[in-house]
Structure 1
Amino acid sequence: MYMVLSSKCWRALENWRDKMSTDNNGKKLPKGIRMRGKELYEARFTYKGETYVLYNTNLKLLQNELAAKRYEVEHGFYAKESNVTVDSWFHTWMEEYKRNNVKYGTYKVYLDEYKTHIQETLGRRQLKDVRGEHIQKLFNDMAKRYSHTTVNLVRVILSGMYTQAVRNGMVLRNPVENTSIKKKKRKRKIRVMTQEEQKLFMRYSKTSQFYDLYIVALGTGMRSGELRALQWSDIDFDNKIIHVNGTLKYVAKAREKYMIDEPKSETSKRDIPMLENLVSVLREHRKHQLATRMLLGNKWRPESGFENLVFTGSFGRCISETALYEDMKKIRAQIREDGHVFGEHTPHSLRHTFATRGFERGIPPKVMQEILGHKSITMTLDIYSHVLPDKKAEEINKLAAMF
C-alpha cells in the first residue's frame, strides 16, 4: 500500500524525525542530523525543493560541514557536483585541456602514470567522492616503493585534474590541497671534472664506442638526451653549427619505446657553434658510421624513425641513458684501478664540466646561458656559482694597476 504525502506532511515528518533522532547512547542529536548505522552520521536539509545530504563519522565535523553547506547553498555559492568518475574525467581532461598544451612526451607520461598508479585505486570512484585521506593513502603507499619524483608527478596529475574540475563547477574543492608528500632530499652538489680528471677521462675513453659522443658533450655542453637525439640533418658543417631540436625520450610502456620529444624548454631549442676540432671529429665519425653500416648490411637495424642518428649503439640502435652511465662507470673504474683519483662523474658531469671550463676561460654568463639553453641567466648563475667567486677575484685584480 502506498500513500502520497503533501509537502506540509513531509516537513512535519522530518521535524518529528529530528526530534526523535538520538545517537547510540540515547543522546539527542542536533537538528537535521541522525545516525546511519553504528558509526555514521547523516546530515540532511532542503532548500528550494532540493535536498542536500552529507555524511561523516565525526559529529562535530559534520556539524561544521552542514553549516558551511547551508551557507554556500543559501548564498548562491554552491554548484551542484557532478557524478562523473575519476577515470572518465581524467581522459576528458587529458584530451580537452592537456593534449595541445604540453609536450607529447609529457602527455604520454601522464597517461602511463595514471594507468600505473591512479586508475586502479581511484578510477572507479566518483570525482566528488574522493577525499584528501584517499589521496594521502595513495601517496603514502607509493612512497614505500617509488621515488619522490614519481609520487610528486602523480600529485601534479591529480591536482591538475581537480583544479580544472573546480573551475568547471564539477566539484567544490580540490582534495589534493589537503595532502602532503615527503620532502625531497637536497640535490647532491653538481660534479665537475677538474682539468686533470678531464684529461684522464678522455685518455681512458678512447677505446669506448661512445668516445666521439664524449668529445661533442665536452665541446658543446649538450644534455645527454639532446646528444642521443642528434640527427645528421642537425649538423651544419658549412656554417659549423649544431642545431638542437629535440631530446631522446624512452617511454617504457609505449609500443615504440623511443621518441624524439620537444626540447626541455623554449630556450633549449638552440644553435651551438662548433669548434674546429668538433667539425673534424664529426666528419670522421660520419665516415666510420657509413662504413660500419655497409659492413653490417641487413644487421644494421635502427628503430623506425631513427635511421639518421649521429650517435648510435650497436647495430644502429638508439643509445639508452643507462648505457652511457654504465660505460662511464667502467671508464671510472679503470682510471681508479691504475691508481688515479677520479670523482663519481656521470654523463651529466660532462655538461657541467663544459660550462665550468667556459667560465674559467672568461665566457660571459649570458653567452653561456644561450649555449646551455637555460631559461634564464639566473639559473645559469645559480648552478655555476661555485666558479664565479674565483672569476670575480681574478677580474677585480685587474684594477690593481690603477692604484
Structure 2
Amino acid sequence: MEELLEQDLTDKNIAILHPDLGIGGAEQLIINVALALQEKGANVIMYTPRFDPDRCFEDCSKLNIQVRGSLFPRSILGRFFALCAYIRMLLCALHVAFFAGGFDCILLDQVSFPIPILRCVNRNVVFYCHFPDKLLCTERTSWFKRLYRWVLDTLEEKTTGMARKVLVNSEFTKEVYHNAFPTLNTEPNVLYPCIIEKNFELPESFNGKSVIYEMLNIPKSQPLPKLVTSLNRYERKKNIGLAIRSFRALINYEGVDPDQYLLVIAGGYDNAVTENVEHYEELLQLAEGLTNIRFLRSISNEERLTLLRYTDVQLYTPENEHFGIVPVEAMYMGCIVLACNSGGPTESIVNGRTGFLLDADDVSQWGKKLHEIFQGQSPNKLLEILKTQAKERVEAKFSFNAFANQLAEYIQ
C-alpha cells in the first residue's frame, strides 16, 4: 500500500448509519471506520435501528451509538426483511437529516435507500458497498418475488449512484459493482478492512491454556490436540459444511490418529434468526459420528482470541466472499489459513506463502492439504515459516494505521 499523508479531521462532525449493529464482518468494519475517524480527531455519532449491548463487539463501548428507526418491525409476518430494513434505515436517515444537527460528512453502508434524503441536507455522503444487495438475494421463484426484488434492485442501483463517493472492500467487489450496476458512472475506491492490532493482545496474566481446555471440554491431563478451526456465522452461505467434510477427509487418511486432532466450529449465532437455528441443526447432522468436533456459538471476544492463539489451521470456507476479515485476523494471530480460491481471500492471502487457496468444490484437495501441513516433511518448520510470513503481510497491508490514513484521505 502506498504511503499516505497523515490527515487531520479535528472538529469534523461525522454521522455513520448502519442497519444492525450486531456481530459480523460488516459490523466489525463499520466500527473500525468509526474508531479510525475518531483517531483522526473527528466527532463521530453512529445511528442504527438495532443495537443490543449484550450482542455486539466490545469496541462499541468506545462509540457514541444512538438507536433510531427501531419502531418499525424487522419483518412482516416473517417476510419482507429487505423492505423492512430499507424502511427502518429510512426512518433513521430522516432523524439524522432533520433532527440530529449538522454534519460535515455522512457515511452509511449496506442499505443505500436513504442516500437521496441525506443528500437533501448534505452533499458529502459516502456509501460503503460491502457487496451489492441484489446479488445476495437469489431466491426469485414467484412472479411477486421477482417484481418485489426488481423494485428494490432498481432503487439500490439508482440510490447508490447518488452518493458523492463510493467505497468497496476489495478489487473483487469493485469488479462485481461495475457488473451489477451498469448504469452507474461512479468509480468506487477500494478501502480494505483492517484489524486493530492492540485488540488482539491478551494480558500477560491471562491463562489462555486453562481457558482453551475449558472452552473445548478437554481434560487438562491430556495434551492439547492440533486445532483446526472454522470461524463464521451460522449461515448456509458460509459453507461451513466444507470444513466438516475436509476434516473428515483428514482423519480418514491411513496412519492418521484422529485423537490428535480437533475441529472447532465457532461463530455468531442468534436464536432470533431462523437460519442460524436451522443451520446449526444441519451441521450437527453432517458431523454425526465425529467425536473430535466442538460447536461453539456466539463466543466472547476473549474466547475468540484464545481460540485463534491455539489454532493451527483456520478453514475459511465461504465462496466468492466479498473480502473476509477472518483470514486476516487468523494470519495476524499466527494461524495457517486455507480458503476458497475466489473473492477477497485471493487479495489477502498469498498462496503458498501466507496460506493456501483451494477449490471450493474439491473436498479431497482440502483434506490432502491438511494432511500435508500436519503429516508432511518437517511440519513444524513449515508451520513456523508460514505463520511468520502471514503476520508480516497483515502488518504491512491491513493495519489500522494504514486504514485510518486512507479513510481520512477519502473523507477530506
Same fold (TM over 0.5): no
Greater RCO (Cα-Cα under 8 Å, separation 6 or more): 2
Q: Which has the higher helix share?
A: 1
Bigger Rg, structure 1 or 2: 1
